[in-house]
Chains A and B, each alone.
Chain A
Amino acid sequence: MPEPMIRLNRLTQSFEGVTAVDALSLDIAKGEIFGFLGHNGAGKTTTIQMLTTLARPASGTATVAGHDICDDPLEVRRRIGYVPENVRLYDTLTAAENLMFFARLSGVADPKWRVAEVLDLLDCAYLADKRVGGFSKGMRQRVGLAQAILHQPAVLFLDEPTSGLDPMGIKMLRDLVMRLNNEFGMTIFMNTHLISEIAKTCTSIAVLSHGKLVYHDRIEAVTARYGDDAALEELYLSLTPVGRLAEVA
């Protein structure tokens, strides 16, 4: 059996006595589009922060692309891209200037050429010479995605990528994610709230509630068992505190 692209082994994080992520263990295979669901404050972003080496776990460990996040953070960073929930860039610089900076920091061999290529790939070459300060949320999200794939990472982490986007923006982002997965074989780890997006995009899902993993399966198994989006939503709600409250009521 091949080594999973992402392996979490009892990964735990706590803040001021509150456990945000509780002994999370999970394997994600290479080439997956993994949907990570959970209510607000469930620990999804904290998990991404640990996997991207932005924060150290309190205990447990994880490997990304075969490298330990605690022992080998630089090697992990060479192999990952990350798009935060709210993409923030240097507003006074143009999209191309921002991307050049991040490309150089990522050690891209020919940053100028690569920036042009990525902007073309994401159909946003027209943004290259415009200052980021005037960009809409959708435009920022595109440039955010561009900065994440400049160095052709093996794993792409997306934190609520569709948050605040209109339906057009959501579709555009979904198509881009699928394309990156299909054409470049990137493993995608995506935090999301949108149940409908999960069925359309993901190959496997997990549900996190209060820092604990409460569900993990492949999407085929989920859809075979629960069918359409509405049933999937039922499943999600039954696993989260809101759903449990509804059951009690």
Chain B
Amino acid sequence: MEAAPSPGWLIARQSARFVLRERTVALLSLMFVVLVLISAWLGWSATSTVNRIYLDAAAFLQKAGQPVPTNPVLDISPLSLMRNMSVYVALIGALSAIVIGNRLIGLDRKAGVLPLIGIRPLGRNAYAGGKIAALTGLILALGAVAGVVAVATFLMLPAITLTGTQWAQLAGFMAITTLYMGIFGLIGLASGAWAKSETVGLLLPVTLWLTLTFILPQLTANLNPTAAINPISALATPPDTSFFHWAAIVLGPVSLADAYKFASAGLLDYLPQGIASPSFNPPVLTLILASCVAAAVAWRALTRLSMTQGDYNV
């Protein structure tokens, strides 16, 4: 005899299984993992190269009886090696989260099984809770993969030792990374539940993602799209004009990619001196507020989903 799990848990488990069988989801998640590995490799490679050159140069200088300067690898925070990861999270990580969120509800709607689920002894809240739990689990798994890669990279680099504070900063970075992807996952889930057609359900959050990643940062922090995907030149002081002043006030609280970049730069120690987020909200607070709003919208869309007319109009 099997112990009876709660209906919400059953929905969560089944939904997560279905989504993982989807090729698009598997492909995007795989791409995210590969890019995270690449970002770690880039950091590891750059540091190792500089370190090797330094060791050769130090040996040469020592032999010539000249003073040996300090290792440049030690001049910068080792955490900044992970700055490429924040770019890949904002791009492919957020997109993967949207697709995961959308498919979690889209699969039920496309299959047309909502009436058969609707007549089971589970409340609409259990259904909504199950879907959000499935999303949370999958996004946490993506975040955990990124975290394991980051930790492994630091453990493998002999020249680098993180202090307790730096490990905490890395944990903080992984937490906001997961939160950031979660926001987009919730947007995908809400849109998938709300839209009448499957295409609109996916197009809407993707458009929002493009706006948040490439358009709003231009208006709030003067980051052009090329700079937005480049972690080195991405953070600069916006011109001191009234346009940027007001854009930061009006759009700053919703400019999520901007907030994520500044929060990441702060936690990974690569925020240039004298540069701060133009928004009046602290970046982490912006992300927390956005996740609360996205969760509320997703909950409303899921609990109001019609079990009789919820199938997609295709």
Contact = CB atoms under 8 A, between A and B. Distances in A.
Contacts of A16: none
B14 A53 contact: no
A90 B4 contact: no
Nearest to B311: A88
A90 B19 CA distance: 12
A247 interface: no
Interface in A92-111: 92, 101-102, 104-107, 109-111
B121 interface: yes
A92 B21 contact: yes
B225 interface: no
Interface residues of B, number: 26
A101 B14 contact: yes
Interface string B110-140: 0111011111111100000000000000000
A147 interface: yes
Contact of A55 (B1, B7, B111, B308): B308
A109 B115 contact: no
Contacts of A91: 111
B115 A105 contact: no
A88 B1 CA distance: 29
Contact of B308 (A49, A102, A106): A49
Contact of A74 (B14, B117, B123, B308): B123
Contacts of B112: 86, 88
A77 interface: yes
A84 B116 contact: yes
Contact of A89 (B14, B111, B119, B120): B111
Contacts of A34: none
A102 B120 contact: yes
A89 B118 CA distance: 13
B121 A78 contact: yes
A80 B119 CA distance: 8
Interface in B1-34: 1-2, 4-5, 7, 10-11, 14, 18, 21
Interface residues on A, range: 20 to 34
A84 B113 CA distance: 10
Nearest to A55: B308
Contacts of B21: 92
A236 interface: no
Contacts of B311: 88
A18 to B, nearest CB: 15
A54 interface: yes
Contacts of A109: 1-2, 4
A82 interface: yes
A3 B268 CA distance: 70
B119 A110 contact: no
B14 A82 contact: no
A89 B114 CA distance: 9
Given A88-B113, A105-B10, A53 B119 contact: yes
Contacts of B121: 74-75, 77-78, 105-107
B297 interface: no
A77 B126 CA distance: 14
A83 B4 CA distance: 24
Given A105-B10, A110-B2, A82 B308 contact: no
Contacts of A104: 4-5, 10
Nearest to A102: B116
B276 interface: no
Contacts of B122: 74, 77, 105
A245 to B, nearest CB: 30
Contacts of B18: 90, 92
B303 to A, nearest CB: 14
A191 interface: no
A88 B113 CA distance: 6
B120 A106 contact: yes
B307 interface: yes
Contacts of A75: 121
B308 A54 contact: yes
A78 B4 CA distance: 15
Contacts of A101: 10, 14
Nearest to B3: A109
Q: Report, nearest first, the 4 A-B pairs whose CB atoms are least far apart.
A: A88-B112, A105-B120, A77-B121, A78-B121
25 contacts: A52-B115, A53-B119, A74-B121, A74-B122, A74-B123, A77-B121, A78-B121, A80-B119, A84-B116, A88-B111, A88-B112, A88-B116, A91-B111, A92-B21, A102-B120, A104-B10, A105-B7, A105-B10, A105-B121, A106-B121, A107-B4, A109-B1, A109-B2, A110-B2, A111-B2
